[in-house]
Structure 1
Amino acid sequence: MSDNLLELKGVHTHIGAYHILHGVDLVVPRGQLTMLLGRNGAGKTTTLRTIMGLWHASQGTVRFAGNDITALPTPQIAGMNIAYVPENMGIFADLTVKENMLLAARKARNAAQMDTTRLEWIFRLFPAVEKFWNHPAGKLSGGQKQMVAVARAIIEPRDLLIVDEPSKGLAPAIINNMIEAFDQLKKSGVTILLVEQNIHFAKRLGDTVAVMDNGQVVHAGSMAALAEDEALQRSLLGLAL
């Protein structure tokens, strides 16, 4: 069995007339948290959406757990125990937090059938989910919605969790809470691919890192090594971590 749970090789993605990804090579090792970094417009979100089949690669391959998923439809990809939290979080605003969670719990037809042990674990990770359980999700703050979005993604055990900018627009205290939650998720054995702009977030959590520019991965390696090399940071990201 490969040490890499997810592998992209030579992936190109076109959106209409636009050629966004130009041969992306990316590996996500099992049981680790991989950071996907890069300037705005580098192709990070397009990479995540291509993995999930929301946009299909026009060339190259996407392999998950050894299986070619390049041309599969999104529901089938999600059914392989992959959860995706988009940048806009995808919260159903008119539904309660409980109803949002129930939609993702495919084995439960009602709240009473949800795994109580797992729910209690999620409540410890994200206390706001329990606190606002019966509140309309649309009434929550941005940070609370983000917690609900991640909690919903892990209401059932996942092999791979893909999250697009979980700390975007959040207050520092909530970011620290989110860092602790992802650290616990990582320790539970979940493989995580994370797009992030918050450098503190990246340094605290990342095991491995891939840096994108102009639709390609231009650097891949240890997050700790990148965090220690200011010259490399400036050349890749235009700033020092």
Structure 2
Amino acid sequence: MSHLLELRGVHTHIGAYHILHGVDLAIPRGQLTMLLGRNGAGKTTTLRTIMGLWRTSKGSVHFGGQDITALDTPAIAHLNIAYVPENMGIFADLTVKENMLLAARKAGNAAQMDAARLEWIFKLFPAVEKFWNHPAGKLSGGQKQMVAVARAIIEPRDLLIVDEPSKGLAPAIVNNMIEAFAQLKQSGVTILLVEQNLHFAQRLGDSVAVMDNGRVVHAGCMAELAQDAALQQSLLGLAL
């Protein structure tokens, strides 16, 4: 199996705190991988380390066969990797259109954005079109999450990394998000999702990695984990 992204023995310190303790993680190309684990297990730190926002103190990160461990965050993003952080990173005072335009590096103005791709995004996330000229800060949490993901895919990406896309969302919005990620997966993009919503994980995941205490303690097929209640209990302290 071809892996698009690999972490090999990654350690990350934040100040005096040793957060990641030798993370080994392989993300298969063209699949949706769920990164699960209890709060504080190191999931968000893993994503931030991949993006160069926090530095590895030991180990390496490889993308498409290239060692990207020492690259800064803008250089990593330019490799066609998009990252949606847990706080969504929306520019509240800008309109939805202006938020999207900032992410569309090839467009100097709204008219230069890829019309066909925008149409596809509007079908995935109707709220993006509906609130196109509204300040993004005035949107609901679910609408902001849609804008954040839409902004990340305004240009074709090789890898999409999203931290807890369903957090705090109403069930109807969660189902909308599941549909959108299913379509994104079908379009061929490789996706890495951190998620606490196990229904979300079960519906979407091809492969899964479970973290605990700064390490990956289980990696395999999502369907196998979804069918093994004892394994879920031991890894996550709860059952799907």
Global fold match (TM > 0.5): yes
Q: What aligned pairs does 1:26-175 form with structure 2 within 5 A after superposition?
A: 26-175=25-174
Deviation at 1:124, TM superposition (A): 0.4
Which consecutive unaligned segments of at least 5 residues does structure 2 have?
Answer: none
Deviation at 1:105, TM superposition (A): 0.1
- Aligned amino acid, residue 98 of structure 2: E
Separation (CA, whole Å) in 1 of partners of 2:50 and 2:104: 22
Which consecutive unaligned segments of at least 5 residues does structure 1 have?
Answer: none
- Aligned amino acid, residue 192 of structure 2: L
Separation (CA, whole Å) in 2 of partners of 1:52 and 1:109: 25
Structure 1 residue ranges (4+ consecutive) displaced by more than 4 angstroms after TM superposition: none
Separation (CA, whole Å) in 2 of partners of 1:81 and 1:161: 9
- Aligned amino acid, residue 211 of structure 1: V
Partner of 1:21: 20
Q: Cα deviations across residues 24-49 of structure 1 (Å, max 9, x unaligned)?
A: 00000000000000000000000000
Separation (CA, whole Å) in 1 of partners of 2:14 and 2:68: 19
Q: Cα deviations across residues 158-202 of structure 1 (Å, max 9, x unaligned)?
A: 000000000000000000000000000000000000000001100
Separation (CA, whole Å) in 2 of partners of 1:49 and 1:175: 24
Q: What TM-score results when the alignment is normalised by the length of structure 2? A: 1.00
Separation (CA, whole Å) in 1 of partners of 2:44 and 2:14: 13
Deviation at 1:70, TM superposition (A): 0.5
Separation (CA, whole Å) in 2 of partners of 1:60 and 1:203: 30
Q: What aligned pairs does 1:146-225 form with structure 2 within 5 A after superposition?
A: 146-225=145-224
1:70 is paired with a residue whose SS is: coil
Separation (CA, whole Å) in 2 of partners of 1:95 and 1:144: 14
Separation (CA, whole Å) in 2 of partners of 1:118 and 1:59: 40
1:219 is paired with a residue whose SS is: strand
Deviation at 1:220, TM superposition (A): 0.1
2:211 is paired with a residue whose SS is: strand
Deviation at 1:149, TM superposition (A): 0.0
Separation (CA, whole Å) in 2 of partners of 1:167 and 1:179: 9
1:102 is paired with a residue whose SS is: helix
Partner of 2:231: 232
Q: Cα deviations across residues 61-87 of structure 1 (Å, max 9, x unaligned)?
A: 100000000110000000000000000
1:58 is paired with a residue whose SS is: strand
Q: What TM-score results when the alignment is normalised by the length of structure 1? A: 0.99
- Aligned amino acid, residue 205 of structure 2: G
Residues matched between the structures, number = 240
Separation (CA, whole Å) in 2 of partners of 1:160 and 1:188: 12
Deviation at 1:97, TM superposition (A): 0.1
2:202 is paired with a residue whose SS is: helix
CA RMSD of aligned residues (A): 0.5
2:98 is paired with a residue whose SS is: helix
2:102 is paired with a residue whose SS is: helix
